[in-house]
Amino acid sequence: MSKPENLSDNIVWHATTIARRDRESRLGQRGTVVWLTGLSGCGKSTIANELEALLYRRGVATILLDGDNVRHGLCAPAQTLAQRHDQAFADRFGLGFGQQDREENIRRIAAVGELFVSSGMIAITAFVSPYRADRQLARMQIESAGSEGDFVEVYVDTPLEVCERRDPKGLYKKARAGEIKNFTGISDPYEPPSSPEIHLNGGDERTVAEQAGQIIAYLEASGRLRAS
């Protein structure tokens, strides 16, 4: 589609399929998934929120995907699905914390990320996403529909002992007590990214603004965001 604003009203408008580049040019930005990964309590959500606030100030259209908005809908557990669907349905499609469930969780988020990229938005995701293979699939899914660079992996590298000391949701305590099975860092492995686009030292909470700024700087340097 080129220059639709130049069309006279007397000309019959023939619908063309609006493509990603049209949506991007409308928004003045490039569709991107900024994928934060790291242990529970590492600071992913805090950095994601700060990043979204900084982008908002610059007029960038964004969405933040995290447990808060996907766990009651897109990636709901069986008990949530059972409230509106039958039990067999809930058992088949509800997501728990087993290996297959985590894989599907990441797959659905990646698929949604792909749709947001196609809409021209910058989608920020904040999930533990502990397995290298799953993140690699997310990258493939998102980049295969567009181009290399649409997926920006951000490793929030905070030592386990710092995360456990923070323990904002009391989950480490429960995991240590054996009340939570399959807890990343305690009873399940975390596989650090081998070559993330951005590697953040997440140890110090006072540096959140600086860390979000590092992500912005990367997006500018890679031409995904205009310098402000």
Q: Is 8 in the site for a second copy (CB under 8 A)?
A: no
Integer Rg of the chain from CA: 20
Euclidean distance between CA atoms 190 and 208, whole angstroms? 22
* Residue 206 touching a second copy (CB under 8 A): no
Cβ 210 to a second copy, closest distance in Å? 12
Residue partners of 17: CB distance under 8 A and separation at least 6: none
Assess contact for 116 and 64: CB atoms under 8 A.
no
Contacts (CB under 8 A) with a second copy, residues 80-139: 81, 84-85, 88-89, 92-93, 100, 103-104, 107-108, 110-112, 114-116, 118-121, 137
Token pair 């087993």: residue: 98
Is there binding between residue 73 and a second copy (CB under 8 A)?
yes
141 Cβ contact partners less than 8 Å away, ≥ 6 residues apart: 107, 110, 111, 113, 114
Residues in the site for a second copy, rule: CB under 8 A? 1, 4-5, 7, 12-13, 15-18, 22-23, 26-27, 46, 49-50, 52-54, 56-57, 59, 61-65, 69-70, 73-74, 76, 81, 84-85, 88-89, 92-93, 100, 103-104, 107-108, 110-112, 114-116, 118-121, 137, 140-141, 145, 208-209, 212
